[in-house]
Structure 1
Amino acid sequence: MRFDIVTLFPELFAPFLESGVTRRAYASGQVEVRLWNLRDHAEGNYRRVDDRPFGGGPGMVMMAEPLARCLAAIRADRADDGAPVVLFSPIGRPLDHGAVEAWSTSPGAILLCGRYEGLDQRFIDRHVDAQISLGDFVLSGGEIAAMALLDAVARLQPGVLHDEGSHQLDSFNPALDGLLDCPHYTRPEVWEGQGVPEELLSGHHARIERWRRDQRLALTARHRPDLIAAARAAGRLAGEDEAALARLL
């Protein structure tokens, strides 16, 4: 898959693409990333990409023409393969596990990293196919959001994680019925007077799995009751799960 990223700050991506376990996905070409500096497609000595908003008000707005030129260059480089154009924006669909899984098996996309007060709406109306949000807050630009999407997609590629089954136990994964993950412990067995739950030391696999399931249920009920409601509605909670919730809460 290939992701083309339109940004005013391509230098932000170099350490991200070369660090951590997900670098394997980029180095192997499983997730190809190409960076496009928007200023390379602007005119004039100053390579201007923004201007004052009509109607007045604070801030600047990214101009449609440099964006259109950059997009045309990307389309030509991709042999106009019909890749969707994605804008990171507060009005977009929240990025969740289901969306990440869909992107992880897609041919990729063209990602727009906005800055300032946003993009000229006429460019959005004509060229943007989808909008994505990381949550109900505003960032200085779309670069962090683009990295979040890339990281989430890259770690789902075969061979990227040390353990192929690792992501199956992630929070929100359908393999866990969409619940949050359980707490984890490692050596030493006692740290600052706190021990490890005895179930994890029992060596009894069924007991360990029941403890983990119960903890997932309890954590999810406390912190994301909406996920419990969704699991109930989908019929994913058994009688034993309901009994555990009643007992633990």
Structure 2
Amino acid sequence: MTDDRDPAPNAPANTPVTEPLKSHGRLAVSATLRPRELMSETPDLAGVWKAKVITLLPAAFPGILGESLTGKALKDGLWQVEPIDLRIFGEGKHRNVDDTPAGGGAGMVLRPDIMGKAIDFAQNGAPVNREEWPLVYLSPRGKRFDQKMAQKWAGARGVTLICGRFEGLDERVITHFGIEEVSLGDFVLTGGELAAQAMLDATVRLIPGVLGNADSIEDESHSAGLLEHPQYTKPAEWRGHAIPEVLQSGHHGKIADWRDAQSRAITKARRPDMWEAFEAANPPTSKKR
């Protein structure tokens, strides 16, 4: 593969430049100091929600977020994602970012001095108020991510996500920056990139204009503290299974009652924890369900 750039000043006229070009996503140009490898000609879009992701795998972004509705919204400028390559802040010939655990043990730990520089870079220009711009470390020991958290992030100006690797991040970084730890669920992944994409998908779809139909957000699982009712579509009968009669009645009141009853029954059976929280937030009234 050849390169269209001019050859080095002292090179023969016909000498091709073979060094590969580097691309690190839609990063902003600003007057602040930044590593040369993170520079890009793509400017920030004023007032647009933005995700900054500190990762050892910057090529993983936008990933699936660049497809379907979130991808269209990304191209349309409704939101932005900036992957920040942690390796660029590493030390030595190989740009090391980790070292052995203090006190011994298996694996490697992300160094505080390296991660600290990456966080300083990521947070430069971001609001200090964490309500406006959360700073999050994706960790299996963190608070479990849920719809309420997605709604909170979507209402902010942006979010910075730190993707862990190896045995995790030096605790001093978490303490120093007051980083919030968030988990995708009660399991362990090899890194935080998949969790980051899942959380960003849940968040970005709540940004006005991304889905196009606001009503679909209101009716889905978790939005009202309940799991969603069953859904059906044509044909009216399939392999001996018919659409429930009430859904074909055209009676909107009866349909709404049926869907509500289904949501309650499914939530109570499948997620007793959610059902308990829903009952606590919605004490029973004289109306029978």
Structure 1 length-normalised TM = 0.89
Q: Residues 84 and 157 from structure 1, CA distance in 2 versus in 1: closer, same or farther, beyond 3 angstroms?
A: closer
Higher Cα Rg, which structure = 2
- The counterpart of 1:81, out of the listed 127, 139, 146, is 127
Match of 2:217 in 1: 167
User: Structure 2 matches for 1:42-121, cutoff 5 A?
Assistant: 42-76=90-124, 79-82=125-128, 83-121=133-171
Match of 1:157 among 191, 207, 218: 207
Tell me, yes or no, if structure 1 residue 145 matches structure 2 residue 195.
Answer: yes
**Structure 1 segments (4+ residues) deviating >3 Å:** 236-240
Deviation at 1:48, TM superposition (A): 1.0
Match of 2:13 in 1: none
Question: Which residue in 2 is equivalent to 1:23?
Answer: 71
> C-alpha distance in 2, partners of 1:210/1:80?
46
Secondary structure of residue in 1 paired with 2:69: coil
Cα deviations by residue, 1:188-238 (Å, 9 ceiling, x for unpaired): 111111111111111111111111111111101101122222222223544
Q: 2:116 is matched by which residue type in structure 1? A: A
Cα distance between partner residues in 2 of 1:236 and 1:173? 18
Query: Deviation digits for residues 48-70 of structure 1, max 9, x if unmatched?
Result: 11111122211111111211121
Q: Structure 2 counterpart of 1:150, which letter?
A: L
Alignment size in residue pairs: 237
Q: Is the 8 A contact 2:65 2:201 kept in 1?
A: no
Decide whether the 8 Å contact of 1:86 with 1:128 is kept in 2.
Answer: no
Provide the C-alpha distance between the structure 2 equivalents of 1:143 and 1:239, rounded to a whole number of angstroms: 48
Identity in percent = 40
Contact 2:137/2:181, CA 8 A, preserved across alignment = yes
1:168-188: per-residue Cα shift (whole Å, max 9, x none)? 0111113xxx11110001111
Q: Higher relative contact order at CA 8 Å, sep ≥6: structure 1 or structure 2?
A: 1
C-alpha deviations, 1:105-142, integer Å up to 9, x for none? Answer: 10112210000010111112112421111111111111
More helix by share: 1
What SS is found at the alignment partner of 1:165?
helix
State the one-letter code of the partner of 2:100. Answer: R
Deviation by residue 1:39-97 (Cα, 9 ceiling, x = unmatched): 01112111111111122211111111211121222233xx2532442101122111111
* 3-state SS in 1 of match to 2:118: helix
Q: What letter corresponds to residue 173 of structure 1 in structure 2? A: S
Code of the residue aligned with 1:88 in structure 2: it is L
Mark the runs of 5 or more structure 2 residues left unpaired by the alignment: 1-48
Q: State how far apart, in whole Å, the 2-side matches of 1:54 and 1:142 are.
A: 22
Letter in 1 for 2:264: L
Residues 236 and 166 of structure 1, relative CA distance in 2, 3 Å threshold: farther
